[in-house]
Chain A
Amino acid sequence: MADPEVRIPAPGSLWRMEKAQLQTLLEALAQQGYTIIGPRIQEGAIVYDEIRQISDLPIGWTDEQDGGYYRLKRREDEAFFGYAVGPHSWKRFLHPPVFSLGQARRNGQGFEWIPPADPPPRYAFLGVRACELHAIAILDRVFMGGPYVDPVYRARREALFLIAVQCTTAGGTCFCASMGTGPKAPPGADLILTELPDAFVVEIGTERGAALMAGVPCTPATEADRAAVEARLEETARSMGRQLDTADLPALLYRNLEHPRWEEVAQRCLTCGNCTMVCPTCFCFTIEDLSDLAGTRAERVRRWDSCFTTAFTYTAGHPIRQSAKARYRQWLTHKLASWWDQFGTSGCVGCGRCITWCPVGIDLTEEVRAIRETDGAMASERR
């Protein structure tokens, strides 16, 4: 290993880091009190969970993905990040699936309110892909962008250290290139890694990232390194497993709300909610009030919910979206069209999770293509 040069890493600068030095980086994060979350193999998939050393990473593994299909496979090489996104997304750490908002205890004449004992975790995310950085930016807008800021999300988000990894392998259901959300990482991460066969190229994203890298041996990246990064990103963009033509997409969907394709996809849709659970931007939740047998304690719990449940659409005495057609159409048009009206961006980042983890392989890129190809078709019978 070459002697590390004396240097001052600055935001925007590029460095070359030996792969084993990722361990030094993890140790530096742990020393600063971060809980490091990164990819690791569990239950036959690459999920996000706590990691402590680089040997926890799925080194030498990749995934094969298609509609309703995911399998782990050995790679020919020992790449650290040679796979696409798995069933988990980072939202489960920023927007926990189940969260107790507080308890009430009966107290003489009234109630005592006990807020959640929640010293928020200080997370460092390792291996955040470009599409996922976009997804986090979308969640930022949803939870912190308006007048009503979500304190649970904000506490986790503001403490977050983000290490992005630019994809050098595209998955079978990936289409970030179509959505303009990858594979090149957008700004926002503290550090941005790109894996080359023999080293990482590290781009310093923020001052915090610079401070962390100051303790990690590395050398300035060469012109050849830069060129290799660009070449890898181009190659990834070319090998996307899926494509989505986004031209005029909201208008296309809005003028096809009665297209027969909705009825056709409803025949296959299980309304199980998996697509919304795995989506990195679906943020809906429900609030449950629980009480104990003796009526002395009550608890308010927030849980992930889905627009595919009937309770979700329960309004004024009955669920308003009774049919699978109405629910699938609501989900897809929200992701790709009305999200623009609501938040000024697409709600879809092209990660492909909803395709892979749909138990019957429903593919939103295929649904949009079917509607585009028969734009203006009307259902023979309105339902």
Chain B
Amino acid sequence: MARRRKPKLAVWKFASCDGCQLTLLDCEEELLTLAGEVEIAYFLEASRAVVRGPYDLSLVEGSISTPEQVDQIREIRRQSRFLVTIGACATAGGIQALRNFADVRGFLDLVYARPEYIKTLEKSLPASAYVPVDFELRGCPIGKGPLLELISAFLNGRRPNIPNHSVCIECKRRGIVCVMVAQGIPCLGPVTQAGCGALCPAYRRGCYGCFGPMETPNPASLGDWLLAHGMTSPDLVRLFRTFNAYAPAFREAGDRYAEAANPDRSS
């Protein structure tokens, strides 16, 4: 069954560390097959050779944090049949969204000798804040398995099998003993979306929430339980404000415990 023409794949970078693009390059055994199935039309991390748009599938890494990037993401949307954001930066604003909790001008003055040269937006935001997004592939970084599943689903015209439920379900399927119940280790697994294969709990660490909030998260209940079992409000702020700090459910939880830690000033 020959396809009429190979779909054109583009990989874009915004404010990010490149780790998610590297996940694609890391698909070593599958890369040749992939190159046989799609035309890699734009992927600067891999090649300077660029094929003009429009593109069938655009993978977008990174958050939107400058006015220039707003124009770029809008142009990419215009050029793309399917636009998929990849990673915590592109889907939630990333670790750099920690600046959203303070006045960005304060950081500029602190970091740059000539802050007047810096054009930046008030907030680091996901692409979905500016353009419609067809699918969000979570993770910090994304996983190789889910990425290949996404591309396979795209090529075969089916829905990707990428669940939105908790990490706990992956943990329990693997038979990993719950680190929170059996060892009292704080874990974001119950409020975090699956996809990593319960990587951290498998190594006796609590989940860091790299994949962002699960489909129906209840971080207030988890946070209050941890608060009643030895954690403090500042601990909880740090727990919720990491790679996905600005994802709505984690943001609300972080704000809630920041408020509790500092009742006088809102964050």
Given contacts A272-B190, A324-B216, contact A311 B164 (CB under 8 A): yes
Q: How far is the CB of B163 from chain A (nearest CB, A)?
A: 7
* Chain A residues touching B, range: 35 or more
> What's the least CB distance linking B58 to chain A, in Å?
18
What is the 8 Å Cβ interface bit string for chain B, positions 188-222, against chain A (1 contact, 0 not)? 01110000000000001000000000111110011
Cβ contact within 8 Å between B216 and A310: yes
Q: Contacts A70-B181, A357-B181, A360-B225 given: A273-B166 contact, CB under 8 Å?
A: yes
Across the interface, do B168 and A272 meet the contact criterion of CB distance under 8 Å? yes
Q: Which of B33, B149, B155, B182 contacts A43 (CB 8 A)?
A: B182
Say yes or no: B190 contacts A288, CB within 8 Å: no
Q: Could you say which of A71, A268, A290 contacts B221, with CB atoms under 8 Å apart?
A: A268
Q: Does B175 contact A (CB under 8 A)?
A: yes
By beta carbon, the residue of chain A nearest B216 is A271
Q: Are B169 and A360 closer than 8 Å at their CB atoms?
A: no
**A71 with B182: CB separation less than 8 A:** yes
**CB-CB under 8 A for A293 and B148, given A44-B177, A70-B181, A359-B187:** yes
- Residue in A294, A309, A322, A357 whose CB lies within 8 Å of B169: A309
A228-269 CB mask vs B (1 if < 8 Å, else 0) is 000000000000000000000000000000000000000111
CA of A202 to CA of B191, assembled, Å: 46
Q: Is B108 an interface residue (CB 8 A)?
A: no
Whether A97 lies near B173 (C-beta < 8 A) is yes
B144: A residues at CB distance < 8 A? none
Q: Which of B134-177 contact A (CB under 8 A)?
A: 148-149, 151-153, 155-156, 158, 161, 163-166, 168-169, 172-177
Interface size in chain B (residues, C-beta < 8 A): 45
A220 on interface, CB distance cutoff 8 Å = no
State whether B161 touches A293 (Cβ < 8 A). no
Q: Which chain B positions have C-beta within 8 A of A270?
A: 166, 190-191, 217-218, 221-222
Q: Does A135 contact B (CB under 8 A)?
A: no
Decide yes or no whether B183 CB sits under 8 A from chain A: yes
Judge whether B106 is part of the interface by a CB distance below 8 angstroms.
Answer: no
Given A271-B218, A293-B151, A310-B216, A69-B169 contact (CB < 8 Å):
no
Q: Does B180 contact A (CB under 8 A)?
A: yes
Q: A272-B169, A294-B37, A309-B163 are in contact. Are A359 and B222 (CB under 8 A)?
A: yes
Q: A270-B222, A360-B221 are in contact. Are A88 and B175 (CB under 8 A)?
A: yes
User: Of B152, B155, B163, B183, which contacts A311 at CB under 8 A?
Assistant: B163
Report B57 CB to chain A, min CB distance, Å. 13
Name which residue of chain A comes closest to B180, CB basis. Answer: A359
Q: Are B183 and A44 in contact, with the CB atoms below 8 A? A: yes
- CB pair B33–A293 under 8 Å, yes or no, is yes
Pairs across A and B, CB under 8 Å, 27 listed: A44-B182, A45-B182, A68-B225, A70-B178, A87-B181, A92-B175, A267-B218, A269-B221, A270-B190, A270-B222, A272-B166, A272-B190, A273-B166, A273-B169, A274-B178, A290-B149, A293-B37, A293-B148, A295-B155, A295-B156, A306-B169, A308-B165, A309-B164, A309-B215, A324-B218, A359-B190, A359-B225
- New A-B pairs, 12, CB < 8 Å, besides A271-B166, A306-B169, A309-B169: A42-B177, A43-B204, A47-B177, A87-B182, A273-B169, A277-B172, A278-B172, A290-B149, A293-B37, A293-B151, A309-B165, A359-B225
